[in-house]
Amino acid sequence: MAQAVVMPKFGQATEESTIMKWHKKEGDIIKKGDVMFEIETDKAVLEVESFFDGTLLKIIVGEGETVPVSVTVAFIGEKGEAVPDVVKTAPVSAPAVRQEARQAAPVKAAGGAPAAPASVSVAAAVPSAPEVPGRFFISPRAKALAKKCVIDPLKIKGTGGNGRVVERDVVAYLESKGYSNMKISPSAKSLAAKEGIDILTVRGKGVSGRIMVQDVRNAMAERPKTLSKMRQVIAQRLTQSFTTTPHFYVSVSADMTDLFAYRQELKAKGQVYTVTDFILEAVIMMLEEIPVLNSVSDGRTIRWHSSVDLGMAVALDDGLVVPVIKNATELNMMELHDMAKSLATRAKEGKLLPDEMTGSTFTVSNMGMLDVENFNAIINPGEAGILAVASTVQKVVVIEGQMKIRSMMTMTLSTDHRIVDGATGAAFVNGIKNKLEDIELWKSLT
């Protein structure tokens, strides 16, 4: 009996994933442990290995298609063996759909010929009509007219039965837009038709506003493109945090001159630490001292975390991830350094495991290498604060009445005002500042 290969569920919260690439094709011999395909979850790209020996009989979910976890994506079995008739799970586009799709048993009765794969790319069939709630009704005649005129019928208000857009609505719409007076070059029109560009959105730059091919190309370039999975997650989480958590900000500048000198000393001795390592360690110690910053609130309750799981924002080419240093208080400086380095490296390679990217209790975002004087960060959902670390710059500072040139680093704490007040915030950032400036402390820790 053919064995179903299902979309794995790698992270606790992963509900769907996209197949990026198939490493095997139908008919290939598969050994247990072979990498069959790569998937992109909302957090990372992962390789999926086979649990079975056999022949890849049929690929159900192709490259670029997104399906809920646990859905059958392929069958492995004896060469020539029949595969069950599979109802192709519709690609997900909304959470509600996702839920349904998961509940629907993907495998119909066994036996019979395998269902032919849909020839049309399923992803392409997803309607791109976010501004239209529910179903959009348009008569075939009106649709054909809109198509002929190369306009987007979704923008037309229907006056037919059921709110259907009928021919007269298209005609009225075209009239209201002065369509009959528009000048469009035939090749521009056919390109727009091919590319699905609404000709009414194209600004003509030809003689007396004539729409030329280049104008359509410009419009194509301006078309909104779907955010990557990662950016969508970022967008969703940060919007949620920034709109539901009352942020307030406390900044201090730490004098890093002595610590930099000490760091060079250690380096000379072969002990290599990054500036971040010291900042992380200082933050870990302060979280132990002021645990309210290591808690979370929903506005009604507060939940204290018994361990410090420190998030560490890592910039990537096309976004950022926050790998988590779990049980950070248990690590000595060297272990902390190794862990931070390992996570950052794997984050940049896109090889973090899903569970390494979830569950942080506080986050440090260090933009020191990016030459900024200061910045405010947005709290990660589920945390009480985030520390934004800016670049260290040489500044003239007054020490004991003397003007001195010192290396100063501005840190800004963003925190949840529902559970953290100004004095607590100030105590927290000043505690970090004091620790960073206390060379004796670091000597005892390194």
Residues of the shown chain interacting with another protein in the complex, contacts defined by CB under 8 A: 139-144, 160-161, 164, 166-167
Q: Quote the CA–CA distance of 42 and 95 in Å, as a whole number.
A: 14
**Cβ at position 152, least distance to another protein in Å:** 18
| C-beta closer to another protein: residue 193 or 220 | 193
Decide whether 167 or 355 has the Cβ nearer to another protein. Answer: 167
Q: Which helix (H) or strand (E) holds 385?
A: strand 385-399
Closest CB 166 distance from another protein, rounded Å: 5
**Which of 23, 247, 337, 417 is flagged as catalytic?**
417
Q: Which lies closer to another protein via its Cβ, residue 170 or residue 364?
A: 170
By beta-carbon proximity to another protein, the closer residue of 169 and 277 is: 169
Distance CA(361)–CA(110), nearest Å, equals 48
Smallest gap from residue 160 Cβ to another protein (A):
6
Place of tokens 């070059």: 185
In three-state form (DSSP H/G/I as H, E/B as E, the rest C), the secondary structure along 408-436 is EEEEEEEEECCCCCHHHHHHHHHHHHHHH
Where do the DSSP E strands lie in 227-331? 247-255, 295-297, 302-304, 310-312, 314-316, 319-321, 324-325
To the nearest whole angstrom, how small is the minimum distance from the Cβ of residue 63 to another protein?
A: 33
Which residues share a beta bridge with 58? 75
**Shortest Cβ 168–another protein spacing (Å):** 8
Helix spans in 158-256 (H): 167-176, 186-195, 213-222, 229-244
Smaller CB distance to another protein: residue 141 or 303? 141
Q: What are phi and psi of 254, to 5 degrees?
A: -100, 145
CB count in 10 Å sphere of residue 199: 22
Residue 417 catalytic? yes
Tell me the closest approach of the beta carbon of residue 162 to another protein, in angstroms. 9
Q: How many Cβ atoms from other residues are within 10 Å of residue 399's Cβ?
A: 9
Distances (CA, A) of 341 to 325, 346, 393: 11, 9, 24
Q: How far apart (Å, rounded) are the C-alpha atoms in residues 110 and 88?
A: 14
Sequence-separated (6 or more) residues with CB below 8 Å from residue 301: none
Gap between the Cα atoms of 192 and 203, Å rounded: 12
Closer CB to another protein, residue 165 or residue 275? 165
Instruction: Cite the active site residues.
Output: 417
